[in-house]
Amino acid sequence: MPDAMGHAYLDYLEGRSPSLTIERSDGYLDWDNMESYFCDYSEFPECEKKALEYAKGRVLDIGSGAGRVALYLQKRSMNVTGIDLSELALDVARARGVKNLVAMSACSLEFEDNSFDTAIAFGNNFGLCGSPEGVVSMLVRLRSILTDEGVILSETIDPLKTDKEDHLRYHELNRKQGKPPGQIRLRLKYRGLVTNWWDLLFVTPDEMKILCDKSGWKIKEIFQEGGKNPVYAAVLVKA
C-alpha cells in the first residue's frame, strides 16, 4: 500500500510543511500538518501525561510513528521498543534517536510471552485493528506478551462526544449496517499517493469496557482530555 503517512513524516523531518489529507468513506475530508507527531512531552495531551505516569519496565509502543512517545520514555531511561507498519516511519523515528524499532502490525504481534511490562497505544491506536473483533484479538494477544502486572495505556476518541452533523450522519449509517458508530473507513492522500481503504475504531468508555471484558482486561483509570474534547486515555490492567 502506498505509504502516504511515511512520506509526510519524512517531509516534516526534512523541514517541509506537509498537509496530509484524510478522506472518510462518506466523502468527509480532514487534514493533518503532522506537527503533533513530532511534539515533545510539554505538548502532549494532558490525558496522555496522566496515563504515562503508569508506564513501567519494558515498554511496547504500538504504532510508534515518528517516535514522540518512545523518545520521551527513553529520556526517562526506559527500555522501549516501537513498532510500526511504515518502514519510512521507522526510518524517521530512528533518525530522531529511537533505539529499538521493529516493522510489525498491531494486529499481528510477534513477541514472546512476558516480553513487556507496558504497552502504549496512543494517538487513537487503541482502535488500529479496525473493528471490535480486531481490537479484542489484539488485547488477547497482549495478555500473553505482557507480564502478569502489565498495563496497557490506550487512547481513543469518544465518537459520541460530538454535535457535528457530518459525524452524526456517519454514526447512523454505521448503526444501520450493524457496525459500532465509531467504526470509520478511511484512506490517506499525500503528494499523489493514495492508500487503500482501511478501518479505524473509535470507542466510548462503555464500549472500551465491553472490549476489555471480552479479552481479560479491566479499566483501572480513565483520563478525559476535558471540555468538549472527545479524546481520552485509559489505563488497563489484567482482570
All residue ranges of the chain with pLDDT < 70 are none
CATH classification for the domain delimited by 43-183+204-238, as one of 3.60.130.10, 3.90.230.10, 1.10.20.10, 3.40.50.150: 3.40.50.150
Dihedral angle computed from the Cα positions of residues 204, 66, 88 and 85, in that order, rounded to the nearest 10 degrees: -30
Whole-number pLDDT of residue 224: 97
* Predicted pLDDT of residue 226: 85
In 16-53, which positions are buried (b, 16+ CB within 10 angstroms) versus exposed (e)?
eebebebbbeeeeeeebebeebbeeeeebbebbebbbe
Residue 181's pLDDT is 98
Helix H or strand E segment including 224:
strand 217-224
What local confidence, expressed as pLDDT, does residue 1 receive? 86
pLDDT of residue 207: 98
- Does pTM top 0.75 for this prediction? yes
CA distance linking residue 64 with residue 51, whole number of Å: 16
The pLDDT value given to residue 238: 98
Domain boundaries, the chain: 43-183+204-238
Cell of 60: 511496547
Q: What is the pLDDT of residues 213-232, one digit of tens each?
A: 999 999 999 999 988 899 99
